[in-house]
Structure 1
């Protein structure tokens, strides 16, 4: 079935209007996470609210108002695995990483390195998808991919 046919069939699908809004990240220390995302990545705090013994916030990249990261912090939390490189993370079932597009992967990685952000290997090219990629992690083991279109 062609992409055009899939789109036509989706018009009868009640969830065809889906668009990404946010991804939630569980962190043990709300204030530390909020500081890390705003200071290291330049994210903006969009909204904050309590939920039981937890504190939550939507944070967003500096120039993107269409997608948020929801920080869920405080309360009791189990530690997540911490990876030294991206290959180790690819063996675990479930969520692996969040991809963020950038204009220049090498400049972005140099900036993150200067911010003492944990880098997971060196940038590399994947010609099949016309992307230059690099990976980094936050202090709680959440993995992020940076992607630059190369063609």
Structure 2
């Protein structure tokens, strides 16, 4: 049996990304690690509910997909977005945009009856979906 463990995101500035993710998503950073013999550094960020985000940094990394919407992300193979299940999509959307996330889709009804959803992007263009599953 398998279960999802974490998502890894490559970022251009590890310390700035740690600060943003910990502040915006209420995560706690484990110690920063380095992979011997490489220029790769990273950190695991932990949420009290159990989800984890691993931030990775290589100075030579190049920008990749920075989709303007979830539809754009689905038009490119590979990582499209991560999704956080929240109790209050509108409140979480407001909190994240105040923390510097950019609007990709304002809160609205989700395809699932009674649910709401929204999309924001982190400071590096990675999409974050917010959804309630009422």
TM-score interval w.r.t. the shorter chain? 0.7 to 0.9
Matches within 5 A, 1:1-151: 16=1, 18-51=2-35, 52-61=38-47, 63-64=48-49, 66-128=50-112, 130-150=114-134
Larger radius of gyration: 1
Measured after TM superposition, the shift of residue 39 of structure 1 is 2.1
Point out where structure 1 has 5 or more consecutive residues left out of the alignment: 1-15
Q: TM-score, normalised by structure 2?
A: 0.87
Q: Distance in 1 between matches of 2:57 and 2:77?
A: 23
SS for the counterpart of 2:30 is strand
Point out where structure 2 has 5 or more consecutive residues left out of the alignment: none
Coordinate RMSD, CA, aligned: 1.7
Question: Which 4+ runs in 1 deviate beyond 6 A?
Answer: none
SS for the counterpart of 1:31 is helix
SS for the counterpart of 1:70 is strand
Q: Distance in 2 between matches of 1:149 and 1:86?
A: 18
Q: TM-score, normalised by structure 1?
A: 0.78
Asked whether the 8 Å contact 1:80–1:140 carries over to 2, the reply is no
Measured after TM superposition, the shift of residue 108 of structure 1 is 0.6
